[in-house]
Amino acid sequence: MSQPNTQPATAEQQKINTLPLNHELINRDGGDYKISTDISSELRVATLAYLSIQQEFNRIGKTVKNYQKPNIQRLEPFVQAMVESIIRNPAAAVWLARLKSKSSYAYRHSISCAILCCVMGRQLNLDQKELFQLALSGLLMDIGKLHLPDSLLRKSTELSNQERAETRSHIEHGLAILADSNLSTDVMAAVQYHHERFNGCGYPQQLSGTDIPLYARIAGIVDCYDAMTSPRYYATPIPHSEAILKLAGWRARLFQKELVDTFIQAIGLYPPGSLVELTNGEVAVVSDYRAGMGRKPKLTVILDMNKRRLAQKKVISITGKEGSIDIARNLPPDAYNLDPEALF
């Protein structure tokens, strides 16, 4: 009989496991919101909302590229459906947001940001109307990039000063595109200020601290996280764990500390759908979403210590007790030829 290929947690994993977070936030489970569905059933509903948003947003993108005014209201029922799904169980939408599909980065990034903004708002216990506004903020904040040349957006080498200035002009383009769309001042503020940074080093107005509107502070964190973990023309994606450590290192400098802690707690140290390798060599997928249980996720083991499919999946919980099975490292979503979309 093969013996377990035991291995200690990697140095990066140990940093994740000891990451200091705001314990007052960690002990919250989305405030008044309670998880009311399981991830498998919610995933079907969330996927329908995701695909509906994607289809309508693609249509809007074509309109914008033709320099015509988009009908943003057509998006609203589908965004509302996603918000309601996130309220019931954020795990399904988070899972969809982390699937790095082969669709256009700009469109996928926008939908992922909508989801993550809403999930973060849920953790902050914002009401449903605010969650809807936050989701719209994430979805629309980069719409101005549709007026930039594809050659600029797809450039794989370092930008010149002129190209960098042109890229930053997506904010002005976005505000112009959305003018007369009857959007709230909060959404428009997120579009205008999501590149501002807490220490005043951002743009376009070098705002700092809480002078940056709340939705823009949230959108800035989400935008940065999703960009870091997504394949782009000029950068390869980094793992979720590395992105979380980077955000933690930027607390109180680029981003508000309390909001970074909230984001980490909302999405989880081990988000739903994450593949992990255990210290006994088995491979598992994070199958449960519980704010406040970030370091002790519930896992579904799918490969044995020899990386063979289990005839019957088994569910375990990480206890953190000395000598017990623990997470050794995070894995990319397609590790060991697994299909991320077939894990639930």
Residue 29 has pLDDT above 90, yes or no: no
Does 44 have pLDDT greater than 80? yes
Can you tell me which residue has the tokens 């708002």? 121
**What residues have CB less than 8 Å from 132, skipping those under 6 apart?**
76, 79, 80, 83, 118
- Residue 306: is its pLDDT beyond 70? yes
What is the structure's pLDDT at 342?
A: 67
Q: Where are the domains of the chain?
A: 22-267, 275-342
CATH class assigned to 22-267: mainly alpha
More confident residue, 147 or 242: 147
The dihedral region occupied by 332, where left means phi > 0, alpha psi between -120 and 50, and beta the remainder, is beta
Q: How confident is the model at residue 134 (pLDDT cuts 50, 70, 90)?
A: very high
Pick 232 or 278 by higher pLDDT: 278
Q: In degrees rounded to 5, what are phi and psi of residue 295?
A: -90, -5
Write the pLDDT tens digit of every residue in 242-291. 899 999 999 989 999 999 999 998 888 888 878 889 999 999 988 765 64
pLDDT for the residue numbered 273: 77
pLDDT band, very low/low/confident/very high, at 179 (cuts 50, 70, 90): very high
Residue 272, preceding bond cis, omega within 30 degrees?
Answer: no
DSSP single-letter state for residue 212: S
Res. 216: pLDDT tops 70 = yes
Q: Is the dihedral of CA 264, 145, 209, 162 positive or negative?
A: positive
Q: Select, from the ranges 159-173, 191-205, 254-268, 318-332, the one with the highest average predicted confidence (pLDDT).
A: 191-205
Least Cα distance to 95 among 42, 133, 160, 134 occurs for 42
Tell me if 213 sits within 8 A of 205, measured CB to CB. Answer: no
Q: Which residue has better confidence, 253 or 325? A: 253
The strands making up 309-317's β-sheet, listed across from edge to edge, are 309-317, 298-303, 283-286, 275-278, 327-331
Q: What confidence score (pLDDT) does residue 336 get?
A: 87
Identify the band that residue 85 occupies on the pLDDT scale cut at 50, 70 and 90: very high
Report the pLDDT value the prediction gives residue 16, as an integer from 0 to 100. 60
pLDDT of residue 269: 81
Of 29-33, 188-192, 225-229, 276-280, highest mean pLDDT: 188-192
pTM score: 0.86
Q: What is the pLDDT of residue 51?
A: 94
Query: CA end-to-end span of the chain, whole Å?
Result: 30
Q: How does the average pLDDT of the chain come out, rounded?
A: 86
Which helix (DSSP H) or strand (DSSP E) does residue 96 occupy?
Answer: helix 90-98
Give the list of residues 6+ apart from residue 18 with CB closer than 8 angstroms, or none.
none
Separation CA 139–CA 122 (nearest Å): 16
Most confident of 195-204, 221-230, 266-275: 195-204
- pLDDT at site 328: 87
Q: Which of 32-36, 95-99, 329-333 has the lowest mean pLDDT?
A: 329-333
pLDDT at 180 over 80: yes
- Residues 144-164: what's their mean pLDDT? 88
User: What is the mean predicted confidence (pLDDT) over 59-87?
Assistant: 96
Q: How far apart are CA 193 and CA 137, in angstroms?
A: 11
pLDDT at 27: 39
93 vs 20, residue with greater confidence: 93
pLDDT of residue 176: 97
Q: Quick one: average pLDDT of 134-142?
A: 98
Q: What percent of the chain has pLDDT over 70?
A: 85
